[in-house]
């Protein structure tokens, strides 16, 4: 981050604090958790320098957790949980979150591949283990057929005839 980045981000934190300090928001939200309301000016600049990384991948906005795995002393943590370990939104029947918002931290690699894994797990949760195993088997079989047929999507209607000289032309059967 540049010095200007730190100043602008610190200014932004102060503006958000001002907005949340006004009614009706003030009475609707809890206390500032990080960096904390007492962190101002130079300490706020230091916090921004130490904790903010330039990145455009938004993650971690829907905290994942399990009530059963949180001790009684962690009541404030428990109330912030949005989705359980099966990606189901607490208090909303039939709704799941399967995107980067359930990741607590930005992955070191591309976010897309990690989101694909989260989505795959969501499909597994929706289908159940037996149906998921059947689906995986069908996918593997289809991939094997593609390999064996040279990758043509529909070998029944699209064939390539080899001509002398190694070229080919498409013919619809």
The catalytic residues are: 57
Q: Is 36 left (phi over 0), alpha (psi -120 to 50) or beta?
A: left
Tell me the C-alpha distance between 136 and 121, whole Å: 12
Contact (CB, 8 A) for 129 and 136: no
Residues 6+ away with beta carbon under 8 Å from 18: none
Residue 90, token pair as written in the block: 């607490």
Contact (CB, 8 A) for 88 and 64: no
Closest CA to 139 of 110, 131, 86: 131
């Amino acid at each position: 981050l540049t010095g200007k980045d730190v100043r602008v981000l610190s200014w932004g934190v102060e503006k958000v604090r001002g907005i949340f300090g006004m009614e009706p928001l003030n009475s609707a939200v809890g206390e500032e958790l990080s960096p904390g309301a007492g962190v101002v000016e130079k300490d706020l600049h230091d916090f921004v320098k130490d904790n903010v990384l330039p990145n455009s991948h938004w993650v971690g906005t829907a905290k994942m957790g399990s009530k059963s795995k949180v001790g009684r002393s962690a009541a404030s943590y428990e109330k912030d949980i949005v989705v359980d370990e099966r990606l189901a939104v607490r208090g909303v029947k039939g709704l799941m979150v399967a995107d980067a918002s359930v990741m607590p931290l930005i992955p070191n690699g591309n976010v897309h591949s990690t989101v694909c894994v989260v989505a795959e797990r969501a499909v597994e949760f929706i289908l159940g283990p037996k149906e998921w195993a059947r689906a995986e088997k069908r996918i593997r079989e289809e991939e094997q057929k593609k390999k064996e047929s040279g990758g043509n999507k529909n070998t029944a209607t699209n064939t390539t005839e080899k001509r002398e000289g190694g070229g080919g032309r498409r013919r619809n059967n």
